[in-house]
Structure 1
Amino acid sequence: MATLIIAPLDTHKLLIMFSFSITCISILYLLLGCCDSSENSQKLSLGWYDNNNNSRSALRGLEGGVDGNSSGREWMALRRLPHALIIGVKKGGTRALLEFLRLHPDIRALGAEPHFFDRHYSRGLGWYRSMMPKALNGQIVMEKTPRYFVTPETPGRIHAMSKNIKLIVVVRNPITRAISDYTQIISKTPDIPSFESLTFKNRSTGQIDALWSPLYIGLYAKHLERWLAYFPLSQIHFVHGERLISDPAGELGRVQDFLGLERIITDKHFYFNKTKGFPCLKKPEGSSKPHCLGKTKGRTHARIDPDVIQKLREFYQPHNLRFYRMAGMDFGWQ
């Protein structure tokens, strides 16, 4: 009777077959995952993540990352160069405007001032992009650096980055702005000369020192002229600094229109803080307390000699009138 002999399996061949099977399964899994990812990317770019054809729902709570509900979408957010800039002016209300705009779910704003176009331009656009918060397609990325408005080189540098960028300038009465600027200076260096002595080249002759920084910044027409050499007026939006205090919702509504956004930030978001003398935010989402700007905002201004104030009114009047004509807007500063 014949005996059936079964040869033992070759261990080496068995290992090869097992490895080959695992590799095939892994490739199939990756292919299926890529297809799903491509489909999701297409949906995002077409705005399919909510019923309003925008990326709002996908981006809520994303500040350099995403919240727990959006963790699966983190890879969709990228660091992008800004679409809009708040370029000035110092002590005009730029910090308040930025904080108010950050309420909008379609705005991604850098909190710190990067000073790229005035101080760090040599670091390159790659460095600048790395400073920006992550954003999805359709999201507006922005930053604010008030010194841009008065630095001669910045208009050309910004134009080289983007010819279509939107620019926001917050302006207020240049005399009030100068006093606020000086008040901040003396809080850091209390031993500097008085506002009155710094205002004049020679007080006996009444000649104003227009190159003293707190006064120079208020020559809005002079600075705007440089910007209009590179950008049309339609790309520049002026925020009325005084109205930003008295009617924040109205000013924010116009800024949202300028940026092409839905008016989501409204009067329901604000209350007036009588102690500080400016509007604060009501309870932000995820917080149980109202939010006001820091202690450095709303300082009591230094008291200035009324005669010096009058001299400054006379000095600024022709500059203000020229600025009104250039901006196409009467700010009503007397």
Structure 2
Amino acid sequence: MRRFQATFVGIGGQKCATTWLYGVLQQCPGVRVSDEKEVDFFSYYFDRGYEWYERNFAAEQQVQHRGEISPSYLIHPAAAARAAAYNPDLHVFVTLRDPVKRAFSNHLHEARKGHISGDNLLFETALGNNPLYRDQGCYATHLRRWFDHFPAERIHVFFQEEINADREAMARQVTDQLGLPPLEDFLDLRANESVRYRNPVVGEALWKVGNYARRNGLGRVVETVKSAPGISQLRSANREAMNAVVQPMKPETEAMLTDFYADEVAALEKLLNRPTPWERYKPAALRA
């Protein structure tokens, strides 16, 4: 193994708790994650070579694991084969969520980033504007490629709904999979999809400062500063609720997407040999 070779990747779907996963790994003393969460090497930047890739988590101190989290790897058709050729012993972390809710969260993300405007702020119109809203929720189709290239025991799947139910317990499962001790003082890192920055420059600057501090063991200090007078008001004033910008999904659209993903969910449960926690896909008797 090369000195800075990665030992894990995160390939969770976009808007499926990959920020939480990054935050867990970032806090582990025995882990070096990339400074930027999404390196996208095995998808978009494979031409830059292994040396460039490994610079993203190079550090002089001895660590047990190195790696990064890039949601693009789940859906990119070549990513699994490229990752397996790079290191066939990689741990592959996957985070998934209800695919219907994921699609709408994807829409909120695009609206927050300013990638869509006008009629496309309506989710029903945006479905035609961005085919990936639907495609990224076809989990079985995409994840099967990873099972073709890695043994099942190296692929660790987490559902966002189970993470939300007990985030600290699920963080322990992450450290267990890597053979690391549990985090003694777990700090929860999550993305807020319900708001966007009125001034993106200020918002991004505050986030980057906080992220730098967390990487250097100052997570508790960051949380204290965030709630301090002045900083708290600045953060609140710079946020706009997304429900004032984007209308909710229509019931008939939700029904259509629920039906669209039904076969994919059934195939996913067969692939994983376990049920999903998504209520809409449980038999009526169990939902009751």
Aligned-residue identity in percent: 22
- Match of 1:90? 14
On the 8 A contact 1:240/1:251 being kept in 2, the answer is no
Change (3 A) 1:183 1:133: same
Higher relative contact order (CA 8 A, sep 6+): 2
Structure label with greater radius of gyration: 1
> Is contact 1:85-1:142 (8 Å) kept?
yes
Residue 323 (1) aligns with residue 268 (2): yes
Gap change, CA 1:212 and 1:160, over 3 Å in 2: same
1:261 and 2:202 matched: no
Displacement of 1:261 in angstroms is 1.2
Do the aligned partners of residues 273 and 129 (structure 1) sit closer, same or farther apart at CA in structure 2, a change above 3 Å counting? closer
Q: Could you say what secondary structure the match of 1:168 adopts?
A: strand
* 1:288 corresponding residue in structure 2: 221
8 Å CA contact 1:199, 1:212 repeated in 2: yes
Q: Take 2:273 and 2:259, find their aligned partners in 1: how far apart are those partners?
A: 22
Q: CA contact under 8 A between 1:183 and 1:302: conserved in structure 2?
A: no
Distance 1:272 1:158 in 2: 27
- Any conservation in 1 of the 2:11–2:93 contact (CA below 8 Å)? yes
Q: Which has the higher helix share?
A: 2
**Partner of 1:30 in structure 2?**
none
2:107 maps to 1:182: yes
Report the AA paired with residue 288 of structure 1: V
Q: Of the candidates 127, 152, 159, which is equivalent to residue 77 of structure 2?
A: 152
SS of 1:229 mapped into structure 2:
helix
Note closer, same or farther for the CA distance 1:80–1:218 as it changes in structure 2 (3 Å cut): same
Cα 1:324–1:306 shift into 2, 3 Å: same
Match of 1:245 in 2: 164
- Superposition TM-score, scaled by structure 2 size: 0.74
1:272 CA drift (Å): 10
1:272 and 1:159 map into 2 onto residues whose CA distance is 29
**Structure 1: stretches of 5+ with no match in the other structure:** 1-77, 201-208, 278-282
1:164 aligns with 2:74: no
**1:172-219 deviations in Å (ceiling 9; x for gaps):** 00011100001111231222523213446xxxxxxxx9x810110000
When the two structures are superposed, what TM-score results if normalisation uses the length of structure 1?
Answer: 0.64
Q: Give the direction of change, closer, same or farther, for the CA distance of 1:135–1:151 in structure 2 (3 Å limit).
A: farther
1:130 is aligned to 55
Q: 1:171 to 1:299 in 2, by over 3 A?
A: farther
Q: Cα RMSD over matched residues?
A: 3.3
Shift of 1:274: 11
Kindly indicate whether residue 254 of structure 2 is the aligned counterpart of residue 309 of structure 1. Answer: yes
- Shift in Å, 1:159: 0.7
